[in-house]
Structure 1
Amino acid sequence: MKYKPQLRRQTNGQIFAIPIVLGVLSIVGLVSALVGDGVWDGVSWVTLAIPILLCGYFFLRRS
């Protein structure tokens, strides 16, 4: 008899939590780059770098 693994059901909140957080970070980064100088430039660099770094991490992890 073959073992059939059961699929774990996820809620919409669990599925879309990380993409929403990345979207909010991107919006914060873009707005901070437009409205401020000094510290705001650093905030924009960090918040816009996070999605890029995560993409690179998961791409390299997959290989």
Structure 2
Amino acid sequence: MNGTTPAHCPGLEKFKNLSSFICKCPNCGKEKEIFSDEFDKPHICPGCKKEIDFTKCTIESTAKADAPR
């Protein structure tokens, strides 16, 4: 490398501390992954096509972007 090429994707920093969780739809049980920068946006279930109400959502798992894989 010539020293000017970034070692990672430009813009990576804003996603470095991103978290996610798997939400089980309260209507049909289908799982959907939601990222922390999308919590304030509406989400449609891929199974029943209804909007997911996070207050009734069952959290199945969580993850952090910088967690080891």
More helix by percentage: 1
Q: If the length of structure 1 is used for normalisation, what is the TM-score?
A: 0.27
Q: If the length of structure 2 is used for normalisation, what is the TM-score?
A: 0.25
Identify the structure with bigger relative contact order (alpha carbons < 8 Å, sequence gap 6+). 2
* Rg larger in structure: 1
